[in-house]
Chains A and B, each alone.
Chain A
Amino acid sequence: MAVKALLIDTVRCTGCRGCQVACKQWNKRPAEKTEFFAGPGYQNPKDLSKDTWCLVTYNEVEIGGRFEWVFGKKQCMHCLVPACVSACPVAALERVETERSSAVIYHKHKCLGCRYCMLACPFLVPRFEFDSPNPYITKCTMCFDRQEQGELPACAKACPTGAITFGDRAELIAEAQRRIATNPSVYHHHIYGLEEAGGTCVLHISNVPFEQLGYFTDIPHRALATTANTAMQAIPLVMFGAAVVLGLSYQLRNRTRQGEPPRAHG
């Protein structure tokens, strides 16, 4: 089964936003109304939304006392053990792995509209169509349909510099490590998404620490579903254990009353 991933290398990014528009184009999501910019630099819109699944961020940072402009990319991280999948009561969100593709995809026909996925996601990715009378959740699909056709995700295809590469997760991790090792003074020594939330399929490397790019960096290095899983897995045990305990206590109580005729019930 394929475990496919994207590697985002902000050192190579020129902020051209070919990826952002290619995503809009492939998925035919409408443009949002914007004004000026959302922060320093040219970022628009302000954040991911029901219509914006890929967002380039513009960050003015300091590296070695020198001013630099570094670009980031926000999108669904396609976690290996997605919290959204775990939280969804009807499995409208699903992580699929086929022979050639993998992604965390969304089946709108199953969706209840409960938005537990939005609460669960540590990266605050899934967005809701609040203004629709028949609202659904939307998010990046890692162009699962394109993958199944043997094509690159739209963002990866659009990127001219290889700031976005698509491939097998293991190979991309090796490539990320190679780039960091070959240019240790350029890269920040961390692969974002390698272990966050238990490991994701969108890996980022950069020349600055990731909080400077506006990424969430307080994410535990284990699948968020594990806490819930642990608790949930305990339930049958707890229930069974409770049943046993209660049953036994009933028996014990009964034994002390042996000899008494059963009471009549009204």
Chain B
Amino acid sequence: MEISRRSFLAAAGTTGTAALLGLLGLDLRPAAAYAQQTTPRRGKVYTTICPYCGVGCGAIVEVDDAGRIVNIEGDSDHPINLGAMCSKGASLYQLHDNPRRLRKVLHRKPGAGDWEELTWDEAIRRIAARVKQTRDENWISQDANGHTVNRTDAIACLGGAALDTEECYLLVKAMRALGLVYIEHQARI
């Protein structure tokens, strides 16, 4: 096919213009498609209460199909904070997704310089044995005046203002049943 100089120039010009236009990004896709480019950050919503101060702000935790938390922000339905969060509450995602979180039971032998790992069963077995030994060796059923005392002063329990109320109840129930009297926590200090 014969190409005249004119037609060549015309064809080149048209192609070049089109390429240039393309390069300049004159995209006819809707701008809203931009919103889809970002990593999915929405999912099934669970409600929670911030574990930090005593205001008790509501937060929502969004979980993807694989069960991973993808977003934590304020709960707009909560009447106290209406979705607002301070710096601590806003950072809750990193309380969960954090390589420094403890994942295993750790144990330190007397005199040792570092941790070793234990299973839960082994740890509970050992702790229960320690508690029983200390309690039994330091049990006081009566004081010097013959009064019934039924306690041990050799074991103490601290904690915990960040535990759920149900956990606090179980803790006080357990510790009082063991006869501990040195029971204290953050409310005192």
Contact = CB atoms under 8 A, between A and B. Distances in A.
**Contact between A and B in the complex (any CB pair below 8 Å):** yes
Interface of A: 16-18, 20-22, 24-26, 28, 89-92, 94, 96, 98, 105, 107, 110, 144-145, 148-149, 152, 154, 157-160
A16 B73 contact: no
Given A91-B25, A144-B34, A145-B35, A20 B71 contact: no
Contacts, number: 80
Contacts of A148: 32, 35
A75 to B, nearest CB: 15
Contacts of B74: 157-158
Interface string B57-85: 00000000000000111101000010111
B19 to A, nearest CB: 13
B35 A25 contact: no
Contacts of A157: 73-74, 76, 83-84
Contact of B85 (A98, A152, A158): A158
Interface stretch (B87-95, B130-138, B148-156, B162-170): B87-95
A18 B86 contact: yes
B28 interface: no
B39 interface: yes
Contacts of B25: 90-92, 107, 110
A98 B23 CA distance: 24
Contact of B86 (A17, A24, A98, A145): A17
B24 interface: yes
Secondary structure dominating the interface of B: loop
Contacts of B76: 157
Nearest to B26: A91
Nearest to B24: A91
A24 B90 CA distance: 9
A160 B81 contact: yes
Residue from A25, A144, A148 whose CB has the most chain B CB atoms within 10 Å? A25
B24 A160 contact: no
A91 B32 CA distance: 16
Given A26-B41, A96-B31, A154-B73, A90 B90 contact: no
Given A94-B31, A158-B73, A158-B90, 9 more contacts: A18-B87, A18-B90, A22-B73, A26-B71, A110-B25, A154-B73, A158-B83, A158-B84, A158-B85
A99 to B, nearest CB: 9
A98 B32 contact: yes
B149 to A, nearest CB: 50
B38 interface: yes
A92 B86 CA distance: 33
Contacts of B83: 152, 157-158
Nearest to A14: B86
B89 A18 contact: yes
A264 to B, nearest CB: 20
B24 A159 contact: no
A21 B35 contact: no
B91 A21 contact: yes
A17 B35 contact: no
Contacts of A145: 34-35, 38
Interface in B40-65: 41-42
Contacts of B42: 149
Given A18-B85, A90-B25, A157-B73, A107 B90 contact: no
